[in-house]
Amino acid sequence: MKRTWTIIGVSDVAGSFKWYQSLFGQPETPPGHDDFGQILDTDGTVLLCLHQWGAHEHPSLMSPDEASPGNGLLLFFRVDDFDMALKRARALVARFEEEPHVNPNTQTREFSLRDPDGYYVAISALPAPQRKGPARRRPKKRLRPTKARRRIRKSREKRTRLRG
């Protein structure tokens, strides 16, 4: 499997790290470095990387003055605890970019807000698992002996009598 690491330039790695951990309901921990941090899921999957503007001389992460942060980028996260994420998000920002609604394309609830650096962040509910109708139980029937099984059984009985 291949995975993408989305890396965004931020002005304060520790502050943004804390903000995203709060949004996702994760325990507060410090980033791995002063100029770089990875927001991880409980299974270790990288959800988002935060990179200090200008550190390490990456051409596209030199300065927010070169282009507006988030131009052409939408951070879109699917969560399994939508109602709790909504509650946490309301505690983080004064207003949403988009209030909670059902996305007509995905048919799931979502809302959008801006992070401390101005990035547009959309939070969407994971869809409920789809069932294809009621589960059917197989009747508990004993298999009837087929002609082949009867022949095998008789053959075994015959061998035992001959040995015995």
pLDDT of residue 159: 61
Q: What are the contacts of 93-98 at 24+ separation with CB within 8 A?
A: 98/122
pLDDT of residue 89: 98
pLDDT of residue 143: 55
Instruction: List residues bridging with 145 in a β-sheet.
Output: none
pLDDT of residue 149: 60
Query: What is the residue-wise DSSP string for 12-46?
Result: -HHHHHHHHHHHHTPPP---SSSSEEEEE-TTS-E
Which residue numbers in the chain have pLDDT < 50?
none
pLDDT of residue 65: 75
Q: What is the DSSP letter of 104?
A: T
pLDDT of residue 162: 61
| Token pair recorded at residue 31 | 């980033």
pLDDT of residue 3: 78
pLDDT of residue 79: 95
pLDDT of residue 22: 97
pLDDT of residue 53: 87
List, for residues 54-63, the tens digit of each pLDDT value.
887 777 777 7
Is the CB of residue 108 less than 8 Å from the CB of residue 102?
Answer: yes
C-alpha to C-alpha distance for 51 and 33, rounded to whole angstroms: 10
SS3 56: helix
